[in-house]
Amino acid sequence: MLYAIISEDIDNSLEKRRDARPAHLERIQELVNEGRVIIAGPHPAVDTEDPGEAGFTGSLVVAEFSSLEEAQTWANADPFVAAGVYARVTVKPFKKVLP
């Protein structure tokens, strides 16, 4: 089943994001390689693809997991969680309807 992992950053998270980003992307790439990621990426803090020093306000990952518990466990082990980038992480079942 698909699960949405919706993460919200702490204020002024950009430096912590930059430091933890390689490990964060490497981990998501494993799911990509397994064909389990539908979409993943950050939420820019301003209305542009490259927010520069404005940074980001959170992230979204929609990926396939065998259960809500597995998705939650995966989300909890994210390097951004360990680095203190995220203030809150919500994991919910997701039903893809379109396209």
Please, what is the end-to-end C-alpha distance for the chain in angstroms? 17
∠ CA(30), CA(69), CA(37), 5° rounding? 30
Confidence of residue 14 (pLDDT cuts 50, 70, 90): very high
| Cβ–Cβ < 8 Å for 59, 80 | yes
Please write the tens of the pLDDT for every residue from 52-77: 999 999 999 999 999 999 999 999 99
Note the pLDDT of residue 91: 98
Residue pair 14/58 in contact (Cβ under 8 Å)? The answer is no
pLDDT value for 31: 98
In 2-36 the beta strands, taken as DSSP E runs, fall at 2-9
pTM: 0.95
pLDDT score, position 72: 98
pLDDT digits (tens, 9 = 90+) for 29-50: 999 999 999 999 999 999 999 9
CA 77 to chain centre: 11
